[in-house]
Amino acid sequence: MENKNPLPKENQQIQLVVNRPESEETTIDLGRVFHNMKVKSRIFAWVLVLCLVVGISVPLLLYQFQKTPLTVTSVVTLRYDVPAGKEGTLVTPDGADLDLNTVTSAPVLQKALENLTLSQPLTIEMIRNNLMVTRVLTEDSSRTQEILSGLADAKDTEVYNRLEEAKIEYQNRFIVSLSNSFTPDNEESRIRYELKDEELRILLNRILDAYNDTLVRQYADVRLPEDKLSLIDTEELDIPEVLDSLNTALNSMLTYCNEKPDAVKEYRSWQTGLTLNEWMESIRTIQSVSIDYLDAYVYARGIMRDRDTVALTYRYRIRTLQGDLDKVNENISKNREILKNYKNNEVYVSMQESDSARTTKMTTAYYNKLVLEQQEYYANAASLRTEIAETQNKLDRLSGSTKKAEIRDVESELEKAIASVKSLYESVRAHMTELFVSPLYTTYSEHSAPQGEAENFLKASSKKMIIFGVIGVVVACGLWFLAALAPEFRRNHKEYDDPKAKADGKEAAEA
């Protein structure tokens, strides 16, 4: 008999099944997925190869657009004598700080581009934007900076002060770099000009050559000795006057040679084997054995064509010199007066933790200038007095009467003296001309060959090629899996819509 009132027995568990006809149960049979993957393996092997090839090719393609432009670098070393105490530092030949902006200046870049044909239309501004000049610290300065940088971590005020006051010196060399990929002056432009590697090196080479030429033009003293001989006219001038002119010419040559630096004076000519010091000795010797010797004879015998005119010339010269001397003496006495009455600054100095104070005088720049000016006036006055005394001495030596035969003898000797002096002048001139084309005067800065190599495109892209290759493989595998998975989803969807189909599917599966 059926129990029509089924009541649960005591302690019996009740199972509640909620049956909602609209819900689906989605199950994916992984086994079938892998089976699908196996079926499609041949196709996806090719897809894998395709993704791998694409993955490896993309970085190579990207390299063309994103490669680091080549930078060429050169070290420039300065090769000229500098004032004592400044050796090995970045200064000009006269001891001032060297302005490195000259390397990127318009005249230098313009000179570099002269007669240079490049594959791209570059302007000076474009080149300047890609040029970089870097100074190199001396070893001592590098050490100082390293030590102070280390101490700076201590955040000590004294260390910061020392950092500020630390004397930083730079070596007599600097680095110049030129990068490829030039941007036109219009910054919004996307165009980039790239030179060939060889062109870039040639351009940097030319820039540094032009820089050297600029230094040479600015600082090399390529004056030749003054020609005080060509205007000596033995017809117009009397014998003593010719001798005076010859002496002046020799003194002028001596002054010219003496002003040269020691390195120049010690340079030995490859044509004569002599140095400028030795030429100066020759000048003094000729002055003594030729000019002074003839001078003594001329004045001792009073050998001249027109004594009165010579005497007149000397008196006039003395008068002019005396006028100059009077002017200088006036300046000296005026300056003396000013210096006597000048009031320099008075400074009060007081001691810390003390009531006492004292005053001290401090000279002003103007006062110092006056003092040095006064010393120059004294030197000028001494020089003028010397010249006056020498001319007076010549005037006093004019005496006696001359015979024509003596004049002829002296004129013949005078011609030889003039020839000797001219020969000396030509020799000194040739010596200096030889010097001016030597490295002493043509090479103020030397640079190493511009170097720089573009990274090999395979080496540069190798990492990216590996990464993208792996991504390609992962993508291919992903696609393969999805392709195997997709049919299973479609099948599940079909079976839910058509239960018969599901049953058939089940039977088919059981079969």
Partner 1 sequence: MKKTHWLRNTLITLIVCGLAGLIIAFIMFNANPGRTGVSSFVEFAFDGAAEGKAPNGYRFDLNDLTSDEVLSAALKEAGLDGKYTVDEIKANLQISGVYPKNIVEQMTKYESLLTGNAGKVNAVDYHATMYSVTLYNDFDKSIAHADLEQLLSAIMTEFRTKFEKTYSVFLAKDSLLDNLADYDYPQQLELLEGSVKRYTDFAKQMAEEHAEFLLNGEGFADIASKYETLSSSDLDRLSGLVTMNALSKDQDRIVSQYENQIKVLQIHLAELEQLAKDTEYLISQYNKDDIIYVSTAEALQQVSGNSTQTYDQLVAARQETENEIAEKNKELAQIQLKLSDITGKAQTAKTSTTESGEDSAEGTTETVTVSAEEREAQKAVVEKGIASAVTKLNKITDDFSAYLKAYSEREMNDSTVAITAVKYNAPKILSGAFLKQVVREAGPICVLGFIACMICLIVSRVKESKKKA
Q: By CB under 8 A, name the one of 41, 66, 68, 161 that touches partner 1.
A: 161
Query: Closer CB to partner 1, residue 96 or residue 437?
Result: 437
Q: By CB under 8 A, name the one of 32, 33, 40, 317 that touches partner 1.
A: 40
Q: Do 318 and 417 touch, CB atoms closer than 8 A?
A: no
CB of 273 to partner 1, least distance (A): 4
Token pair recorded at residue 421: 């002096």
Number of residues assigned to the chain? 511
Is residue 251 at the binding interface for partner 1, with CB under 8 A as the rule?
Answer: no
Closest-CA residue to 266 (of 257, 276, 258, 256): 276
CB of 133 to partner 1, least distance (A): 13
Is residue 390 at the binding interface for partner 1, with CB under 8 A as the rule?
Answer: yes
Is residue 333 at the binding interface for partner 1, with CB under 8 A as the rule?
Answer: no
Is residue 329 at the binding interface for partner 1, with CB under 8 A as the rule?
Answer: no
Closest-CA residue to 450 (of 114, 100, 195, 137): 195
Closest-CA residue to 237 (of 224, 228, 250): 228
Query: Closer CB to partner 1, residue 24 or residue 165?
Result: 165
Query: Closer CB to partner 1, residue 16 or residue 372?
Result: 372
CB of 47 to partner 1, least distance (A): 6
What would the x/- binding string for partner 1 be over residues 420 to 459, using CB under 8 A? x--x---x---------xxxx-xx--x-xx-x--------
Is residue 393 at the binding interface for partner 1, with CB under 8 A as the rule?
Answer: yes
Is residue 77 at the binding interface for partner 1, with CB under 8 A as the rule?
Answer: yes
Q: By CB under 8 A, name the one of 29, 34, 46, 233 that touches partner 1.
A: 46
CB of 504 to partner 1, least distance (A): 17
Is residue 163 at the binding interface for partner 1, with CB under 8 A as the rule?
Answer: no
Query: Closer CB to partner 1, residue 74 or residue 104?
Result: 74
Q: By CB under 8 A, name the one of 139, 337, 415, 504 that touches partner 1.
A: 139
Q: By CB under 8 A, name the one of 278, 406, 411, 495 that touches partner 1.
A: 278
Query: Closer CB to partner 1, residue 228 or residue 397?
Result: 397
Which residues lie closer than 8 Å to 204 by C-beta, 6 or more apart? 72, 74, 176, 178, 450
Query: Distances from the Cα of 358 to the Cαs of 326, 351, 355, in angstroms?
Result: 44, 9, 10
Near partner 1 in 187-206, by CB under 8 A: 198, 202, 205
Bridge-based pairing of strands 445-447 and 357-362 is: unpaired
φ, ψ of residue 118 in degrees (nearest 5): -110, 160
Q: Please, how many CA atoms are within 13 Å of residue 77, restricted to the half-sphere of its CB? A: 7
CB of 347 to partner 1, least distance (A): 7
Query: Closer CB to partner 1, residue 274 or residue 501?
Result: 274
CB of 385 to partner 1, least distance (A): 5
**Structure-token match 């040639």, residue found:** 202
CB of 100 to partner 1, least distance (A): 15
Near partner 1 in 461-500, by CB under 8 A: none
Q: By CB under 8 A, name the one of 16, 17, 362, 482 that touches partner 1.
A: 362
Q: By CB under 8 A, name the one of 30, 43, 106, 486 that touches partner 1.
A: 43
* 3 state SS of 27: coil
Token pair recorded at residue 72: 């060429």
Is residue 344 at the binding interface for partner 1, with CB under 8 A as the rule?
Answer: yes
Is residue 375 at the binding interface for partner 1, with CB under 8 A as the rule?
Answer: yes
CB of 190 to partner 1, least distance (A): 22
Q: Do 40 and 480 touch, CB atoms closer than 8 A?
A: yes
* 3 state SS of 269: coil
Number of CB atoms found within 10 A of residue 126's CB: 17
In the chain, count of helices (H) and strands (E)? 17, 6
Is residue 102 at the binding interface for partner 1, with CB under 8 A as the rule?
Answer: no
Number of residues this chain uses to bind partner 1 (CB under 8 A): 99
C-alpha 216, offset from chain centre: 14
Q: Per-residue DSSP letters for 448-471?
A: PPPB--PPPHHHHHHHHHHHHHHH
Query: Distances from the Cα of 180 to the Cαs of 116, 193, 199, 348, in angstroms?
Result: 17, 8, 10, 62
Distance CA(506)–CA(487), nearest Å, equals 17
Is residue 406 at the binding interface for partner 1, with CB under 8 A as the rule?
Answer: no
- Binding part of the chain for partner 1, among 25-33, 120-128, 310-318, 364-372 by CB under 8 A, reads 364-372
- Binding part of the chain for partner 1, among 104-112, 320-328, 339-347, 500-508 by CB under 8 A, reads 339-347
CB of 486 to partner 1, least distance (A): 13
Distance from the first to the final alpha carbon of the chain: 42
Q: Do 424 and 42 touch, CB atoms closer than 8 A?
A: no
Number of CB atoms found within 10 A of residue 444's CB: 22
